[in-house]
Amino acid sequence: MGFYTNYEVEFSDSIEWDDDVVKRSLESFNLTYIYLRDMELPRFILCFYSQHTLKEILEVIKLLYPAKMRYRIYNSEEWTPFT
């Protein structure tokens, strides 16, 4: 049996988020995300089941938006860079 995990992901630069493109690109992962528009740097929250890894999902996002990213388990203190 698996579990759900929430992650917060932040981009290092401004991006032109396209919700339709992101939704189509991530539909095979069966996840939920919320893009937070009013942040200093673009940020979104992911919630997904343990059958997928965060790395798999962020690799797809990186193809859409080649900016540097960092992530953390939602509401934790420590950020981890994603390269």
Q: Which CATH topology does 4-82 take?
A: Alpha-Beta Plaits (3.30.70)
pLDDT at 1: 66
User: 26-70, pLDDT tens digit by residue?
Assistant: 999 989 999 998 899 999 999 998 888 999 999 999 999 999 999
Give CA–CA dist 81/62, Å, rounded.
13
List the domain boundaries for the chain: 4-82
Rounded CA gap, 63 and 22, in Å? 11
Residue 2 pLDDT exceeds 90: no
φ, ψ (nearest 5 deg) of residue 70: -140, 160
